[in-house]
Amino acid sequence: MRLRWPLLIFSSLLSAFSQAYPHQEVLPEGSRISLVAEKLSENAELDGVHPTEQLFPPASTLKIVTALAAKLELGDNFRFRTKLEASGSDAVIYFVGDPTLQTNDLKSLLTLAKKNGLKRIDGDLWLDNSAFTGYNRAVGWPWDILGVCYSAPASTITLNNNCVQASIYTQKDGGTRVYVPEHQPIRVTSTVETVSKTIKKSRHCDLGLVANPDNNYKLTGCLVEREKPLPLKFAVQDPELYTSHRLAALLKQLNIELSGKIRIGSAPEKQRKLIAMHQSEALPDILEEMLKNSDNLIADTLTKTLGAKFFVQSGSFANGTEAIKQIIFANTGIDIRNARLEDGSGLSRNNRISATKMAEILRYIWKHEDELKLIAIMPKSGESGTLKYRQSMRKLPIKGQLIAKSGSLYGTYNMAGYGLDKNGQPNTIFVQFVSDYFPEKRDDNTPVIAPITHFEQLFYNDIVNFSQAIPKK
């Protein structure tokens, strides 16, 4: 008996190895992979593709799940509504985490309020932030990216995508100069040195960013000399302080006098009167921006909004991700309770879901596309959104033949979506989860195709051929 078990184990491992997808050999040793590739309308799967039940970081493919939950719970008529009300001698702006709210929208809100009689605020102007609670960033967001805009805080009071654009110039004297638009209430200092490529390599020196809580930023390290400025995007660290400064400037510009102060929080309970309201675009337009351009802020504010609506309380990452699980199960029967979700964007390194569950989500969306219209707003390979310039999708036969959502984190390269038939209709669902991908670094400058790009080209080519093959009779 002791002799047979090792033989059985070896036999089972050999069988699993022989059935492995052949192209995964181009990936570095140690990479984990789970693939799905199966027809939508018949019981057929791509040869060699055998998904596991292991949990993987979904990265931004998680936005597909978030989009489905938002469609099911909020509906197409949903809009973020930012209201301005009178409260005794005070005025209150009720923020609801609208990720699309811009300075011009606030200006229009105040202009309408002034037209409706708000020429002076005798008390305070309250910025109500009670719609959300808890942290503005989810568990598992890396500390070293908190200063850049794709990890902007998902806050109740959100303005201008919680993002400020600036630029840094290299100088002949070895220093650098930072430009920030004069109207932006942030401060940036730089100790960055201008160096040659050789010096940068020998000193192992990169451009660094220290983001402080009061919207003050410090750039450190070094930057190779360049003719044109390097564009920068800073995530606003304190959205409430930032918005307060922008509102103060707007009040002055519109000649609306404020006797008291701009305060953050819930105003004292008094009789309220609606003066003006701003509405965002409807949910389908918001979801299209989220899926096409992989907008993290939209995904995470929608997650908190789902938590608020589903549990009838202030929204948070905790109740929002739980709401997503329950909404999906109640409406579709798909059980993702074993998935670990910390946010709705996929930015958290702690998120986990299996490729098979992602495939179930994709299949449900396809079956109900007439009502959901989610496939219609996803990126198309080599043509739109985040897939337009993806190296593995830019050329035929892959270009234009896949509709999918990408997702990448450190060591993770994912894709989830649909292969199209010869008539351009979804015919196949596919999921690519690749994690623990750490290729060997090269010291020379010889051009080389990255292993992940090579793998994707082979896999996507197989998906296209599989989707467009003539069905067997």
* Domain at 420, CATH number: 3.40.710.10
| pLDDT tens track for 150-209 | 999 999 999 999 999 999 999 999 999 999 999 999 999 999 999 999 999 999 999 999
Average pLDDT over residues 328-357: 98
Cα dihedral across residues 389, 390, 392, 398: positive or negative:
negative
Distance between CA 216 and CA 222 in Å, rounded? 19
Residue 2 counted as domain residue: no
Whether residue 320 sits in one domain with residue 201: no
Cis bond before residue 57 (omega within 30° of 0): no
Whether residue 164 sits in one domain with residue 274: yes
141 or 4, higher pLDDT: 141
The packing angle between helices 283-293 and 62-74, to 10°, is 180
Residue 60 counted as domain residue: yes
pLDDT, residue 470, reads 75
Distance between CA 394 and CA 35 in Å, rounded? 22
Among the listed residues 247, 238, 203, the one whose alpha carbon sits nearest the alpha carbon of residue 217: 238
Whether residue 358 sits in one domain with residue 234: no
Cα dihedral across residues 233, 101, 88, 114: positive or negative:
positive
Whether residue 344 sits in one domain with residue 266: no
Whether residue 134 sits in one domain with residue 52: no
Whether residue 114 sits in one domain with residue 72: no
| Residue at which a domain ends, from 280, 300, 327 | 280
pLDDT at 142 over 70: yes
Whether residue 269 sits in one domain with residue 366: no
State the burial class of residue 419 (Cβ atoms within 10 Å of its Cβ: 0-12, 13-18, 19+).
buried
Whether residue 94 sits in one domain with residue 190: yes
| Residue at which a domain ends, from 280, 315, 350 | 280
Whether residue 172 sits in one domain with residue 42: no
Whether residue 223 sits in one domain with residue 162: yes
pLDDT more than 70, % of the chain: 95
| pLDDT tens track for 201-241 | 999 999 999 999 999 999 999 999 999 999 999 999 999 99
Among the listed residues 87, 100, 113, 90, the one whose alpha carbon sits nearest the alpha carbon of residue 254: 113
Residue 8 counted as domain residue: no
Residue 6 counted as domain residue: no
Whether residue 89 sits in one domain with residue 71: no
pLDDT at 18 over 80: no
CA distances in angstroms from 119 to 95, 108, 251, listed in the order given = 21, 14, 10
SS3 164: strand
Residue 5 counted as domain residue: no
pLDDT at 308 over 70: yes
Average pLDDT over residues 51-58: 94
CATH code of 242's domain: 3.50.80.20
pLDDT, residue 379, reads 98
Residue 288 counted as domain residue: yes
Residue 366 counted as domain residue: yes
Among the listed residues 126, 125, 158, the one whose alpha carbon sits nearest the alpha carbon of residue 242: 158
pLDDT, residue 33, reads 96
Q: Which residues constitute the domain of residue 100?
A: 80-280
Number of structural domains (the chain) is 2
| Residue at which a domain ends, from 253, 280, 307 | 280
Q: Active-site residue numbers? A: 60, 63, 294
Residue 389 counted as domain residue: yes
Contact partners, residue 43, CB within 8 Å, separation at least 6? none
328 or 14, higher pLDDT: 328
Whether residue 329 sits in one domain with residue 216: no
